[in-house]
Amino acid sequence: MELSLTQDVSMIELVAQASWVVKLVMLILLAASVASWWIIFVKFQVIRREIQLTRKFEREFRVGSYDDLVKRMRDGVPAGSMETVFRAGYKEWSKLHRQSGVSAASTIESVRRAMRAAYQTEMDSLEANLPFLATVGSVSPYVGLFGTVWGIMNSFRGLSNVAQTTLAHVAPGIAEALIATAIGLFAAIPAVIAYNRFTYDLDRLASRFDVFMEEFSNLLQREIHRA
C-alpha cells in the first residue's frame, strides 16, 4: 500500500519497511548500544569501588598503623589496587633489605620496579573495555550515517519507476533511513560521555598511585638509614 503524507506511520512500520542493509546497520548499532550500557554499568561500579578502597587505604597508610597493613597483607585480606601495589613493594622489600651485599639504592630501585609492575597490571585491569567505549563513541555516528545514505539512495532509486514524483513517495524512505542516524547517535553519546568520565577518574587514580609509590619509597629509605 502506498503511503501518503497524511498517514500516521509508526516507528516500527518505518523500521520494518527499511532495506536489509539499513536493518543490519540498525541491528549492529543496537547491539553496540546494549554492550556499551552493560560496560558502563559494570565499569561505574568497579571504578567507584576502587576510589573508595583507595581513599580508605590512603587514610590507613598515612594515619593508621603500618603494622596493621602488614598483618592484613599476611592474613590475605582482599585489597584494592593501591594496597596491591603496596603488597608488591613490601614483598620485594622483605626479600632484599636483610640480604648482605645489596645496596640501599638497589633495594629501593627493586621495590619501585615491583610496585610499578603491580601498578601497571592493576591499571590495565581497570582500563579494560574502555577502548570499546571509545570505538563505539567514534564509529557509531558514521555507521548510522552509512545506513542513512544507503536508505536515501534506495528511496531515490525507487523514483525511477514513478511517473509523477511527490514528497509522499520519498518521505517514508528518508524517514526510515534517518532512524539509522538517530540510533547511531543514541549509541555514541552515552559511550563518549562514559569514556571521558572513566578516563578522568582513572587518571586521577593513577596520580594518587604515583604519589603513594613515592611516599612508600621515601619511607623505606628512611627505614634503611635508621638501620
CB atoms within 10 A of CB 148: 21
User: Which residue, among 112, 125, 88, 137, has the nearest Cα to 205 in the 3D structure?
Assistant: 125
Report if pTM > 0.85: no
Look at 101 and 40; give whichever has higher pLDDT.
Answer: 40
- pLDDT for 227 equals 58
Number of H helices, E strands in the chain: 7, 0
User: Rounded to the nearest 5 degrees, what angle is found at the Cα of 40, between the Cα atoms of 36 and 42?
Assistant: 120
The three grid cell numbers given for residue 106, joined into one nine-digit string: 638497589
Element (H, E) at 8: none
End-to-end alpha carbon distance in the chain? 92
pLDDT tens-place string over residues 98-134: 776 667 788 889 999 999 999 999 999 999 999 999 9
pLDDT tens-place string over residues 188-205: 999 999 999 999 999 999
pLDDT tens-place string over residues 43-82: 999 999 999 999 988 888 887 666 677 777 766 666 789 9
- pLDDT for 198 equals 96
Tell me how far apart the alpha carbons of residues 202 and 6 are, in angstroms, rounded to a whole number.
53
The answer to whether 116 and 214 are in contact (CB under 8 A) is no
Average pLDDT over residues 141-159: 80
Residue 201's identity, in one-letter code, is: D
pLDDT tens-place string over residues 18-35: 667 778 888 999 999 999
User: Which residue, among 36, 39, 25, has the nearest Cα to 184 in the 3D structure?
Assistant: 25
- The CA-atom distances, in angstroms, between 20 and each of 15, 16, 24, 38, 150 are 10, 9, 6, 27, 10
